[in-house]
Amino acid sequence: MKKLLITLMALMMLPLAACGAKTPAGPETPAETPVETSAERPSYVRGEDEVTGKITVYTTMEETQQEALKTIWNKYYPNSQIEIQADSVGTLATRIRGDESSDADVVIGGLFAADGTTYHDILQPYTAVNDKEQLYHDKSGYYTYYDVQVMSLVVNPELRKELGIEINGYEDLLNPKLEGKIILAAPDASSSGWRQLQTMLAVMGDKFDDEKGWSYVEKLMKNAFSTTSSKDVYNLVINGEYVVGLSYESTVAALIKDGAPVENIYIEEGNTAMAGGAAIVKNAPNLTAAQAMMDLLASTEFQDMRAKESSGRGSNGKSILVDLPKEDTLNMVELDFDYLATNKASMIEKWNTLWAKTH
């Protein structure tokens, strides 16, 4: 009996010994695998718990680009609510300057390399962590670029056919049949209006800002109506109220992708390119989120998403190009940004004087 008990006890201990034995390690179970590692979060993205609260975005972006921005923001910062208010940069700047209780954290869009110090009074400097990847840099340190703007004409093809005309460039806009059928944005209130004025003076004169260029501008004014909003230009052409509007290539390309019945016409006389971007508002209520936004805008991830969704032309040297021609096919004329910044006020004054004269 004693021997039997000893044998039974030995048999009972075998499983315990097996449990303590070393065995080859098997694959980790899903529960043991971390949901997210630091390697999976890009270097330009801050910690999820670091960026919280509401971020208020003032922007000139159209809706497709706004949705792309919301998507990537919510992906990385689910604890931060993004609120967007869209309008022309002139209107947004006026709102910030005139409302001490403005809760704007950032302005995205409508800010360009040739602005000089125009908006510095409402902004504060910041340099994105991935600024070295950019092809364009703001030497004053205020702007974070994410976009390169090239100009175009937005044309309603049905209305153009009814008139029996062709529209391939600036010269075609002087056709008497287009009198009262052209819409443009005022350069003192809209970024697209200021960019279009630059481009007209660059390609329609013998040299930039000469009398020949301004002579063309004055002739164009007689055929055109003006608005203070870049959005009005393409919306009124889409709605059939105007045949042609002076706009941006990427905006028109995005509208066409969304089904708008318009054409994106590149100006045959030539074109200009300028980096555009965003900045943090002075005394931003949510500074941490505002800085995180600048880093995100400068990234290839955002710029590639914007290119795919709305054909935006990115400023990051590694970003892709979608549904847009290469710059070297557009007869580009280089702009003197310092000249533009120094002479913007006098050029706007001249525009307003000629507008009053022709209207």
Chain segment 322-345, per-residue pLDDT in tens: 989 998 899 999 999 999 989 999
Band (pLDDT 50/70/90 cuts) for residue 14 is: very low
| Structure tokens, 71 | 């998507």
Residue 278 is given by DSSP the state E
This prediction's pTM: 0.74
Lowest mean pLDDT among 24-38, 144-158, 231-245: 24-38
d(CA 80, CA 232): 31
State the average pLDDT over residues 115-132: 94
| Amino acid 88: pLDDT | 84
Q: Are 282 and 103 in contact (CB under 8 A)?
A: no
CB 100 within 8 A of CB 259: no
Tokens matching residue 84: 């967007």
Closest CA to 87 of 68, 112, 69, 61: 61
pLDDT for position 19: 37
Helix boundaries (H) for the chain = 2-20, 63-76, 89-98, 157-163, 191-203, 211-221, 230-238, 249-257, 287-297, 300-310, 337-358
Write phi, then psi, for 44 (nearest 5 degrees): -85, 0
Tell me the two tokens of residue 236. Answer: 């009124």
pLDDT cut 70: percent of the chain above it: 89
Q: What is the DSSP letter of 134?
A: B
Residue 222 has a pLDDT of 96
Q: Which of helix, strand or coil describes residue 277?
A: strand
**Res. 315 pLDDT band, cuts 50 70 90:** very high
Residue 122's pLDDT is 97
Task: Tell me how crowded residue 277 is: count the other CB atoms within 10 A of its CB.
Answer: 26
C-alpha separations of 64 from 13, 81, 255, 258, 310 in Å:
69, 18, 8, 8, 6
* Contact indicator for 213, 199 with CB cutoff of 8 Å: no
Name 44's bridge partners.
Answer: none
DSSP type of residue 261: S
Angle value at C-alpha 243, between 242 and 245, nearest 5 degrees: 80
Mean pLDDT value of segment 99-115: 88
